C-alpha cells in the first residue's frame, strides 16, 4: 500500500522529514490555538486544541466521506448537510471532546461554525466542523468561542505541520503525506485510531490540493480512493462515531491530468492509511494480508479483515510467535460463518514469503519456525518496556521503519484479490484503554 519504504532513527529525523513534506498547497492557510476548559461532566480541567484550515476563497470543489456508525457525532450530522452547499470556505477541528449524542450537540457545533465564519467573512454553512475526543461530553462552547479569534489570528500559509499536530490525540506523532504533480500538489494529514485519554477513537483526514478538479470528479475519486485505502484498514475493529475524510481543492493550479490526479490521490490516501495503522493504539507490528485468487473482492477483503481482527492471532504476532494455527482458525471461522460454499482445498498460506499451509495441511518444520520468528522480529516497531506500575506505554515518538508482517492467503479458486492492513494486540493497547483511571 505504501509507495515508500522510510526508516527513521529518531524523533528529530522524522520531524525533519515531516517538515520536508509539509508545504501547503496554494490557496490555503492553517492556524491553531490551545485552550483550557473544565468539562461539565467531569470535575477536572482539560486541554483542547482548535485547528483552523481556511481557503483564501470559498471553493465549490470539495468532497467528504463520513462514518457509517448509526449513532454519529453532531459534526457528522452537520457535515452531511454541508456537502450539499455550493461552496466551502473553512474547516474547524477540535480534539478532546467528540460531541457525540451530547444534549444540544448540533446547536453547539453550529455556534462554533457561525463564529468561525464571522471571523473569516463566511456564512456558518461554509464551515465544515469536526470533533474528536471523549464520547458523551458536550463541547465547551464559551471557551471555544473565546479562543477562535486567536486561532484565526495565527492563520498562515506555508506549512500544514501546525494542523497535523493540532488534530492529534493519542497519536505518537503527526502524519503528513504529499504528492507533487502538474505544477501543484496534494497534501494530506491524518489523526489516527487513538483513544485519547479516556475514550476517543476517531480517524480524521484532511487532504488539500491546489490542483483544479471539479466537485463531481473530486467526489467520485475520493469515494474510490477511500474504498481502496481507509476502508481496508482496521486497528481494533471498532468504528468511530466521528470518522471523516475530506478533500478540498483551492483550484489555484489548472490543467492537471485527471487520471494522474486520481493515482496521486490514492497514493496519498494509501500512505496516510498505513500511517494510521502504524501509529494505531498500542500497535507494535503492522500486519499486511494479501488475499489472492478469491471469488470476489468482497470476500477477499472480508477475509483479510477477519485475520487482522482475530484477537488470538493478533496476540501471537505481538509475542513474535508464528502461531499459524491461529491464522488458520481465523480463516476457517470466517469462511464457516460467512462463505461456507468456499472451496478451501486449494488454500495456500505464506508468512514472510515462507509457505506454511498447502494441500489441506500445515507445512511446518523447526527451520521454518526460526525464519518466521525472524520475520516477526524484523517487523516489530519497538520492544515492550516492562513498567513498574503495570501501565505499558510506547517508548517511541516516530515510526522507525515501514516493514510489515506479510501474509498471503491464496484461495486458488478465482481471480479477485485485496490487501488489508491491521495491527497486533498488545499490553500497550490494553494499558491505553483500560489503565487510565486510578
Instruction: Return the number of the residue (93 or 349) whose C-beta is nearest its own copies.
Output: 349
Question: Rounded to the nearest whole angstrom, what is the least distance from the CB of residue 433 to its own copies in the complex?
Answer: 3
What secondary structure letter does DSSP report for 6? Answer: -
Instruction: Return the number of the residue (100 or 294) whose C-beta is nearest its own copies.
Output: 100
Instruction: Return the number of the residue (111 or 215) whose C-beta is nearest its own copies.
Output: 111
Residues of span 140-179 touching its own copies by CB under 8 A: none
Cell numbers for 402: 515501514
Burial of 107 (0-12, 13-18, 19+ CB in 10 A): exposed
Specify which residues 194 forms β-bridges with.
Answer: 202
Angle between helix 141-153 and 105-120 (nearest 10)? 20
In whole angstroms, what is the distance from residue 241 CA to residue 73 CA?
6
CB 56 within 8 A of CB 27: yes
Q: Which span (132-140, 159-167, 181-189, 291-299) binds its own copies, by CB under 8 A?
A: 132-140
Is residue 426 involved in binding its own copies (CB under 8 A)? yes
Question: Rounded to the nearest whole angstrom, what is the least distance from the CB of residue 135 to its own copies in the complex?
Answer: 3
Is residue 261 involved in binding its own copies (CB under 8 A)? no
429 phi and psi, to 5 degrees?
Answer: -65, -50
CB 326 within 8 A of CB 312: yes
Size of the site for its own copies (CB under 8 A): 82
Residues of span 198-227 touching its own copies by CB under 8 A: 198-199, 201
Instruction: Return the number of the residue (134 or 207) whose C-beta is nearest its own copies.
Output: 134
Residues of span 9-68 touching its own copies by CB under 8 A: 41-43, 67-68
Burial of 224 (0-12, 13-18, 19+ CB in 10 A): middle
Tell me which of 67, 202, 266, 342 is the catalytic residue. Answer: 202
Q: What's the residue count for the chain?
A: 438
Question: Rounded to the nearest whole angstrom, what is the least distance from the CB of residue 106 to its own copies in the complex?
Answer: 11
Residues of span 236-255 touching its own copies by CB under 8 A: 236-241
Contact with its own copies (CB under 8 A) among 323, 350, 393, 413: 323
Question: Rounded to the nearest whole angstrom, what is the least distance from the CB of residue 306 to its own copies in the complex?
Answer: 10
Contact with its own copies (CB under 8 A) among 154, 384, 393, 413: 384
Residues of span 105-124 touching its own copies by CB under 8 A: 105
In whole angstroms, what is the distance from residue 100 CA to residue 82 CA?
18
Name, in order, each residue with C-beta under 8 angstroms of 118's C-beta and a sequence gap of 6 or more: none
Question: Rounded to the nearest whole angstrom, what is the least distance from the CB of residue 399 to its own copies in the complex?
Answer: 21
Contact with its own copies (CB under 8 A) among 33, 222, 276, 331: 331
In whole angstroms, what is the distance from residue 427 CA to residue 136 CA?
26
- For residues 132, 73, 216, 116, the Cα torsion angle rounded to the nearest 10 degrees is -60
Catalytic: 202? Answer: yes
Is residue 132 involved in binding its own copies (CB under 8 A)? no
63 phi and psi, to 5 degrees?
Answer: -150, 155
In whole angstroms, what is the distance from residue 343 CA to residue 337 CA?
14
Contact with its own copies (CB under 8 A) among 290, 293, 319, 393: 319
Is residue 316 involved in binding its own copies (CB under 8 A)? yes
Q: Which span (79-87, 113-121, 265-273, 424-432) binds its own copies, by CB under 8 A?
A: 424-432
Is residue 362 involved in binding its own copies (CB under 8 A)? yes
In whole angstroms, what is the distance from residue 381 CA to residue 424 CA?
11
Instruction: Return the number of the residue (173 or 313) whose C-beta is nearest its own copies.
Output: 313
Residues of span 70-89 touching its own copies by CB under 8 A: 70-72
Active site residues: 202
Amino acid at each position: 500500500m505504501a509507495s515508500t519504504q522510510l526508516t527513521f532513527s529518531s524523533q528529530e529525523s522524522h520531524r525533519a522529514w515531516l517538515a520536508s513534506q509539509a508545504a501547503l498547497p496554494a490557496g490555503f492557510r492553517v492556524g491553531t490555538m490551545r485552550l483550557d476548559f473544565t468539562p461539565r461532566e467531569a470535575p477536572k480541567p482539560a486541554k483542547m486544541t482548535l485547528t483552523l484550515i481556511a481557503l483564501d476563497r470559498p471553493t465549490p470543489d470539495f468532497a467528504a466521506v463520513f462514518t457509517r456508525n448509526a449513532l454519529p457525532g453532531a459534526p457528522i450530522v452537520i457535515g452531511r448537510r454541508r456537502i450539499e452547499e455550493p461552496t466551502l470556505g473553512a474547516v474547524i477541528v477540535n480534539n478532546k471532546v467528540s460531541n457525540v449524542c451530547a444534549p444540544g450537540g448540533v446547536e453547539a457545533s453550529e455556534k462554533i461554525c457561525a463564529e468561525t465564519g464571522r471571523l473569516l467573512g463566511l456564512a456558518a454553512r461554509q464551515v465544515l466542523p469536526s470533533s474528536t475526543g471523549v464520547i458523551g461530553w458536550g463541547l465547551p462552547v464559551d471557551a471555544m468561542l473565546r479562543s477562535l479569534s486567536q486561532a484565526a489570528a495565527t492563520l498562515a500559509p506555508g506549512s500544514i505541520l501546525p494542523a497535523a499536530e493540532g488534530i492529534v490525540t493519542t497519536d505518537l506523532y503527526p502524519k503528513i503525506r504529499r504528492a507533487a504533480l502538474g505544477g501543484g500538489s496534494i497534501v494530506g494529514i491524518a489523526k489516527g485510531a487513538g483513544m485519547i485519554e479516556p475514550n476517543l477513537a476517531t480517524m480524521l483526514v484532511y487532504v488539500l490540493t491546489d490542483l483544479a478538479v471539479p466537485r463531481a470528479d473530486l467526489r467520485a475519486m475520493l469515494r474510490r480512493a477511500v474504498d481502496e485505502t481507509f476502508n481496508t484498514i482496521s486497528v481494533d475493529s471498532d468504528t468511530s462515531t466521528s470518522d471523516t475524510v475530506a478533500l478540498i481543492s483551492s483550484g489555484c493550479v489548472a490543467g492537471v491530468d485527471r487520471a494522474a490526479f486520481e493515482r496521486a490521490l490514492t497514493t496519498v490516501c494509501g500512505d496516510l492509511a498505513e500511517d494510521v495503522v502504524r501509529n494505531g493504539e498500542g500497535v507494535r507490528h503492522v500486519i499486511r494480508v494479501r488475499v489472492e485468487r478469491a471469488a470476489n473482492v468482497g470476500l477477499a477483503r472480508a477475509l483479510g479483515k477477519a485475520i487482522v481482527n482475530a484477537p488470538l492471532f493478533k496476540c501471537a504476532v505481538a509475542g513474535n510467535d508464528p502461531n499459524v494455527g491461529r491464522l488458520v482458525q481465523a480463516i476457517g471461522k470466517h469462511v464457516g460463518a460467512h462463505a461456507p460454499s468456499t472451496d478451501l482445498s486449494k488454500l495456500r498460506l505464506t508468512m514472510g514469503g515462507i509457505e506454511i499451509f498447502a494441500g489441506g495441511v500445515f507445512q511446518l518444520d523447526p527451520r521454518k519456525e526460526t525464519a518466521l520468528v525472524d520475520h516477526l522480529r524484523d517487523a516489530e516497531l519497538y520492544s515492550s518496556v516492562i513498567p513498574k506500575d503495570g501501565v505499558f506505554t510506547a517508548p517511541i515518538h516516530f515510526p522507525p521503519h515501514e516493514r510489515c508482517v506479510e501474509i498471503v492467503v491464496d484461495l486458488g479458486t478465482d481471480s479477485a484479490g485485496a490487501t488489508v492492513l491491521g495491527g497486533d494486540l498488545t499490553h500497550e493497547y490494553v494499558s491505553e484503554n483500560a489503565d487510565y483511571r486510578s
